[in-house]
Structure 1
Amino acid sequence: MDSSASAVDLHGKVAVVTGSGRGLGLAYAAALAQAGAAVVVNDIDEAAAAHAVETLTKAGGRAVAEVAAVGTGEAADRLVARAVETFGRLDVMVTNAGILRDRVLWKMTDEDFDAVIATHLRGTFTCARAAAVHLRAQGEGGRLILVGSPAGQRGNFGQTNYAAAKAGIAAMARTWSMELARARITVNAIVPVAATAMTETVPAFAPYVEAMRQGRPLPEFLRKGEGFGTVEDCAALVPFLASDAARDVTGQCIGIGGDRLTLWSHPQEVKAAYADGGWSPRSIAAAWPGSVGAELQSVGVPAPKVPEAAGVAGA
């Protein structure tokens, strides 16, 4: 076995993947199992969780299911306990579970907001906390792999709740990477882009997702230019971050999709202006256009740039 292969060998490791009954979560769980890790599959759907376990074990992996809705401390504790009771330890927590309740601000209800925050943000917090408590006591380091989104990096129309949760997840990854460094626990957020139930409703993607379902390949402008592909395209990043090859990688937001792997920058000041003695509203107005106002930043997840000559293969 070459050094790179041994560095990503996860035999003897145990991972929990929340929301792993289908979609991206199942792809992450399968990639971890293929690398040698034992996996606790989690989903709110008992049938989906059972099918996921069957899929992993038929492929030669080791997996068990724990059916629970993430968000509460009790659910998080159950996930950690299931890993320890079944496989003897815990090494990796992947916080993938999520839901959508998309609405524009003036139509979003308290229930829409709270449900998404409870699953994505609170669910990430409670599961990461439960894992951190056990990993610190275990004393052998570990990995927290949080799942972010481009919406959390740039905002997205109609996704107040989701974008806020994903932005919070990125901030928690940076914070926890500092807090857990002495315990040799790395914390990173991944930013996947793939054809899922959450993205197939985007009109620009819809015909290509449908073509992909029919066995036709995605065009290069999507796989490379947009970094958009299958859930399996995103999965390799998780076992990499769970492995010894990534032992020095922490506090990062890392994007993956299609043929593209990216590193997101941390928010930082891009322009500064100064006024002796401080600023007044009038002096800000006077200085604004030629100073910080000249560096206003864009918002939103850009729509795919479809080449004029591009069509859907086979259509």
Structure 2
Amino acid sequence: MKLSSRTERESFRALVLAFASILVISPVVHCWGLDGHLTICRIAQSRLSAAAATAVKELLPAAAEDDLGSECSWADRVKFHYHWSSALHFIDTPDNLCSYQYNRDCKDENGEKDRCVAGAINNYTTQLLGYGNAASSQHYNLTEALLFLSHFIGDIHQPLHVGFTSDRGANTIDVHWYTRKTVLHHVWDDNIIETSEERYYNSDVDGLINAIQKNITGEWSDQVKTWESCSRNATTCPDIYASESIQAACNWAYKGVTEGSVLEDDYFLTRLPVVNLRLAQAGVRLAATLNRVFG
């Protein structure tokens, strides 16, 4: 249900803090990393309509202090509690086809349909469309729906969250990021963003966010309306986002990489523009989705 009273919002805050304490002692792979998701949600919140901004403020837990970005990685933390949600962060596609089809690919490891990040985006968008309706507010936790949707729209824009089945989205491809041993998936979740922040923004995520915001209103401004739109007047269109991601995975993430590859400046400098573009598209599309939901 919607967290309408302060007591309910404080209870949700306690739950969030409890999961944060688990995070300290338990390993977890962050989708897009903390700074990636923070960037996406900060971009989105800056583009909300008045109606959407009011709804988001109402639904956010008190701990967020009206900052969607601060809770944008909540869906990663709650995987320890909501074990069923782990399959909702990604899509596995057939190896080397470099294509995505919802009916073929949106399923979990047990073959259950609709259990992938595209299906989750559709589900939580539908839940949020009931905002303001008493029956929907009683049937669904709309605060959780907002936090899941905000996170999953970020995830589906990370190219390797729509990766090959056999390597689990490049989670089993061992590489070196300069001198550090890691896996290719983690390079795209974290390493490219972290290296960019270190080199260009004095390790400050706000510098990264500001730079991407300037590109959205500048270099990419003529593309923004296309990013925002959905075919057939749909509220959100995750199939488009997933198709873009598997293409980017093939053309950029996987390309030229084999087991044990050492990835340095050649890889970083050619892939950074792709990462920045996907962060921008995710932020713009999250805002567009929330504006349509709450409009």
Alignment TM-score, normalising by the size of structure 1: 0.30
* Higher alpha-carbon Rg: 1
Larger helix proportion, structure 1 or 2?
Answer: 2
Larger strand proportion, structure 1 or 2?
Answer: 1
